[in-house]
Amino acid sequence: MLGAIGPARAQGDAERLARAAWPWLMRNTLRQITQPHALLRDEGLRVPLPPNLQDTMRLLKSTGYAAHVELLVFALNSVAEGALRRTQDSLNALVRALAASALVPPVAEGVPDAYTQALSARTGPEVQQVLLAAARKEAEQHKLEQRYRPLVDRVAALGLNTHPSPDIERFVAESAARSLWTAMASLEWRLRQTPSLSRELWTAPEPAAPKAPVRK
């Protein structure tokens, strides 16, 4: 298990394991959740309706808008999955750079998803911004606004606006980031239960520091 490999580790050893764990977790989490319909099939990862539509979902479905609701849910998750696929290389590079940097965020002891929590705390805002740029491009391709607007207008016509209408593309990016961290925490938990994977990380070489550009 990650917390029980070899003798008690010094701080330097803990940092070395974190440097190995973060790129592995990001790479394998993205590989998992960028499969076709991976978010849509998993209730724990699925992008939900935004709050302004959740409260009225049953009413919308019972008043002739059931197909509109289903199409919106499909579009929300398609945009999120597309954004994650678009940003795989960028997100992996971001984590590799962190793992090779001089400053490694502290990792809590005895927490099942400690590496995920530390990585999320350190890179969360940047990950979300990367996903937002990609979500805006995916939203055009999947006609997200055209799926979203009729339902918002219907709720307004019924006088049932209980929440402000969010920036739907930002909502998807935030949801995609949340799905990423949730899936990573689950993967980390499984990793801790699999000694062979843990040993593989523990014996992995140090991430190479980015090379300085050669001046000609």
Helix/strand/coil (H, E, C) string of 138-178?
Answer: HHHHCCHHHHHHHHHHHHHHCCCCCCCCCCHHHHHHHHHHH
Residue 210 lies in a domain: no
CB 83 within 8 A of CB 134: yes
Residue 24 lies in a domain: yes
Residue 125 lies in a domain: yes
Report the domain count for the chain. 1
Query: Which comes out higher in pLDDT, residue 195 or 190?
Result: 190
Residue 214 lies in a domain: no
Mean pLDDT across the stretch 132-152?
A: 94
Give yes or no for residue 32 having a pLDDT over 70.
yes
HSE-CB at 135 with a 13 A cutoff on CA atoms is 25
Give yes or no for residue 203 having a pLDDT over 60.
no
Residue 114 lies in a domain: yes
Residue 207 lies in a domain: no
Place of tokens 């001089």: 102
pTM of the model: 0.83
Residue 82 lies in a domain: yes
> Token digits for 20?
């190995």
Residue 93 lies in a domain: yes
pLDDT at 12: 58
DSSP string, 10-31: PHHHHHHHHHHHHHHHHHHHHH
Average pLDDT, the chain: 84
Q: What is the pLDDT of residues 123-135, one digit of tens each?
A: 999 999 999 999 9
Helix ranges restricted to H, 38-167: 38-41, 51-54, 57-60, 66-86, 88-100, 114-141, 144-157
| Domain span at 70 | 2-202
Give yes or no for residue 180 having a pLDDT over 70.
yes
> Token digits for 191?
């990793």
